[in-house]
């Protein structure tokens, strides 16, 4: 659940459409690799298109795999305002396609009338846009697809989702978070607004890829709150950015090369807002099936007294 921000004095209120990100966010971008503004989608076997991060090796190479487990549950609430979408593509034969996976999580703002509608619209509109612009051209067999910068596609997808939510019912104030993870080859492309999260588990380390656009995160960044105080802060669910709150929205984008093996976790704050990163890591490192893993993440959130909807999408990749 996310809430409408309380009144903040003008000198303390971050601009809704900031022209530049705070320093903490810039450092996160640096940690998750530089933005790849030139990455494009096109024929995967030509030298002029996207570098998928996959190199040719001598001898038989195991087929790359993307497997996902999903739990999107009402949790302790009466209505589920979370939405998620998972799309994985597999193609065999002499001309295999690069691994393609699209994963989306949206968490409707619980303080608003149509949070559940906003999350549904945003997740599906964004996914539809990305699949049309990136995945469908990969299926062409006659003419090579037009090259399109992936970062541009993701930003346009977020904006399309924002417009769809904003214009759905002009009499109703609604909004949602939106976190998108696109796996293409060994490249992870991300677009993000709000406080749903994307994590990467690899080599024994759980890393938060996205940065929360929340009041409590901003207060931690400027040193007003400690991490421990943040867990008890009264307005910890207040967002500084959300999809559908205006005619335009400012989204973060990231790109990085994935390791050959690991797991991704996309989740709403019904999980990460109540369960520590260490506890999440312990569950994700267990040798259990993906359905069991997302179920255990859900049960862990309830045991931590989560009072929100809980969504967890775990992607096990071998690239």
Kindly indicate the confidence band of residue 167, based on its pLDDT and cuts at 50, 70 and 90.
very high
Q: Are 243 and 124 in contact (CB under 8 A)?
A: no
Residue 193 CA to residue 214 CA, distance in Å, equals 10
- Residue 38: per-residue pLDDT: 46
- Residue 34: per-residue pLDDT: 36
Strand blocks (E) in the chain: 40-41, 65-73, 82-89, 100-107, 148-149, 178-184, 187-193, 197-202, 205-208, 252-257, 261-267, 310-318
Task: Give one DSSP letter per residue of 34-68, joined into a string.
Answer: ---TT-EES-TTSTTS---S----SS--PPPEEEE
**In the chain, domain spans:** 29-37+73-318
CB burial string 220-255: b at 16+ within 10 A, e below: bbeeebeeeebeebeebbbbbbbbbbeeebbbbbbb
pLDDT at 80 over 90: yes
- Residue 220: per-residue pLDDT: 86
User: Where is average pLDDT lowest: 45-49, 156-160, 286-290?
Assistant: 45-49
Higher-confidence residue: 229 or 253? 253
Over residues 246-270, the mean pLDDT reads 96
Spelled out in words, what is the top-level CATH class assigned to the domain 29-37+73-318? alpha beta
pTM as predicted: 0.82
Over residues 97-107, the mean pLDDT reads 95
Q: Structure tokens of 11?
A: 């000198």
Closest by Cα among 250, 161, 156, 252 to 209: 252
**Residue 118, helix vs strand vs coil:** helix
Over residues 144-161, the mean pLDDT reads 88
Residues of the chain with pLDDT > 90, as a percent, come to 61
Kindly indicate the confidence band of residue 295, based on its pLDDT and cuts at 50, 70 and 90.
very high
pLDDT at 1 over 80: no
- Residue 90: per-residue pLDDT: 83
pLDDT at 236 over 70: yes
| Per-residue model confidence as pLDDT tens digits over 109-129 | 966 678 999 999 999 999 999
The radius of gyration computed from the CA coordinates of the chain, to the nearest angstrom, equals 19
């Amino acid at each position: 659940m996310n809430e409408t921000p309380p009144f903040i004095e003008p000198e303390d209120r971050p601009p809704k459409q900031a022209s530049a990100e705070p320093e903490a966010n810039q450092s996160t971008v640096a940690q998750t690799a530089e933005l790849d503004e030139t990455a494009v989608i096109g024929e995967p076997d030509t030298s002029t298109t996207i570098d998928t991060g996959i190199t040719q090796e001598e001898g038989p190479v195991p087929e790359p795999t993307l497997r996902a487990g999903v739990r999107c549950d009402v949790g302790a609430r009466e209505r589920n305002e979370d939405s998620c979408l998972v799309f994985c593509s597999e193609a065999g034969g002499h001309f295999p396609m690069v691994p393609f996976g699209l994963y989306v999580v949206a968490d409707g703002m619980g303080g608003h009338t149509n949070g559940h509608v906003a999350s549904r619209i945003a997740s599906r509109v964004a996914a539809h846009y990305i699949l049309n612009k990136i995945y469908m051209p990969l299926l062409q067999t006659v003419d090579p697809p037009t090259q399109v910068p992936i970062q541009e596609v993701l930003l346009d997808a977020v904006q399309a989702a924002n417009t769809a939510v904003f214009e759905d019912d002009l009499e109703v104030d609604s909004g949602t978070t939106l976190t998108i993870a696109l796996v293409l080859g060994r490249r992870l492309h991300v677009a993000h607004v709000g406080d749903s999260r994307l994590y990467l588990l690899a080599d024994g380390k759980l890393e938060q890829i996205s940065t929360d656009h929340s009041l409590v995160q901003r207060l931690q960044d400027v040193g007003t709150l400690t991490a421990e105080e943040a867990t008890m802060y009264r307005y910890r669910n207040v967002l500084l950015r959300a999809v559908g709150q205006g005619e335009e929205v400012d989204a973060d984008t990231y790109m990085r090369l994935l390791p050959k093996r690991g797991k991704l976790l996309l989740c709403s704050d019904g999980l990460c807002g109540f369960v520590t990163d260490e506890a999440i890591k312990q569950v994700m490192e267990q040798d259990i099936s993906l359905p069991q893993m997302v179920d255990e993440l859900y049960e862990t959130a309830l045991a931590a007294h989560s009072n929100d909807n809980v969504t967890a999408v775990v992607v096990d990749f071998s690239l």
